[in-house]
């Protein structure tokens, strides 16, 4: 079956509906590279998430969607709420107790866990960290194992842009759309492959990038909504 792989939605229901319409019209299986939650149209964007689940969308684990799972796991392991936030959100890793940002994110994560509910959290906890289609490798951020790979996404992109990273095939990611916007293109050609960036800053009113992968594991379309 053909797959419609798309980037970071961040609560944009209009983009979700456009993707679903395309998928239905062309008989495509939806695959999200993550970051459905947190954005301009409702802080969590559960309407987007629930609609995509209803449409049979598959997901890859991402920092915005997985933070609640990581927080709960850390609490179960005996960490304090502050240390659980540090473990769940790499932006908070080095913040001291009492820091305004640490306290704010702690309160937000705790409140969001209640809103998301156990059923959704169980589903999110099952999301894989990558999908492979032949020599097409799809991640939320840089290639790696687990969400700690997101920590050095900036360093990864600097290597990509400078042509220092040796790739085989095609790497498809979201997460770092600033680089796609800055260079006004979604595709970065490499010596031994290419990177396709799908995060086009929907969170800030931008677009969502997508690709279509056919039954032969070939990318037959690259576009955006």
What would the pLDDT profile of 4-29 be if each residue is shown by its tens digit? 999 999 999 999 999 999 999 999 99
Q: Strands, E, within 71-206: which ranges?
A: 130-133, 136-139, 170-173, 187-190, 193-197, 199-200
Using DSSP bridges, classify how beta strands 219-224 and 58-59 pair: parallel, antiparallel or unpaired.
Answer: unpaired
Phi, psi (degrees; rounded to nearest 5) at 19 = -65, -45
Burial of 133 (0-12, 13-18, 19+ CB in 10 A): buried
Q: For residue 193, give the DSSP letter.
A: E
Judge whether residue 181 has pLDDT over 70. Answer: no
Q: How confident is the model at residue 212 (pLDDT cuts 50, 70, 90)?
A: very high
- Comparing 122 with 94, the larger pLDDT belongs to 122
Judge whether residue 153 has pLDDT over 70. Answer: no
* Spatial contact of 119 and 38, defined as CB atoms under 8 Å apart: no
- Lowest average pLDDT, out of 44-58, 112-126, 137-151, goes to 137-151
Judge whether residue 34 has pLDDT over 70. Answer: yes
Mean pLDDT of the chain: 88
Q: What is the mean pLDDT of residues 143-150?
A: 63
Q: If DSSP codes are grouped into helix, strand and coil, which group holds residue 207? A: strand
Q: How confident is the model at residue 161 (pLDDT cuts 50, 70, 90)?
A: low
What pLDDT sits at residue 152?
63
Q: How much of the chain, in percent, has pLDDT values that exceed 70?
A: 84
Is 0.75 surpassed by the pTM of this model? yes
What pLDDT sits at residue 12?
95
What pLDDT sits at residue 195?
84
Q: How far is CA 39 from CA 27, 35, 76, in A?
A: 28, 9, 28
Judge whether residue 144 has pLDDT over 90. Answer: no
Q: For residue 3, give the DSSP letter.
A: E
| Calpha distance 75→66 (Å, rounded) | 14
| Calpha distance 112→11 (Å, rounded) | 14
């Amino acid at each position: 079956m053909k797959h419609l792989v798309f980037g970071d939605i961040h609560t944009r229901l209009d983009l979700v509906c456009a993707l679903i319409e395309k998928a239905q019209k062309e008989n495509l299986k939806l695959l999200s590279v993550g970051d459905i939650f947190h954005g301009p149209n409702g802080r969590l964007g559960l309407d987007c998430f629930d609609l995509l689940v209803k449409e049979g969308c598959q997901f890859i684990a991402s920092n915005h969607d997985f933070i609640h799972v990581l927080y709960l796991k850390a609490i179960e392991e005996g960490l304090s709420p502050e240390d659980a936030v540090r473990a769940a959100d790499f932006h908070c890793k080095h913040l001291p107790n009492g820091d305004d940002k640490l306290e704010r994110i702690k309160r937000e994560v705790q409140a969001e866990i209640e809103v998301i509910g156990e059923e959704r959290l169980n589903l999110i906890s099952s999301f894989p960290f990558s999908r492979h289609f032949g020599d097409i490798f799809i991640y939320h951020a840089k290639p790696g194992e687990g969400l700690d790979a997101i920590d050095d996404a900036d360093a990864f992109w600097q290597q990509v842009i400078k042509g220092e990273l040796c790739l085989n095939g095609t790497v498809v990611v979201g997460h770092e759309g600033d680089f796609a916007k800055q260079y006004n293109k979604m595709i970065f050609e490499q010596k031994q492959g290419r990177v396709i960036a799908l995060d086009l800053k929907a969170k800030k009113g931008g677009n969502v990038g997508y690709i279509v992968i056919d039954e032969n594991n070939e990318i037959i379309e690259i576009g955006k909504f």
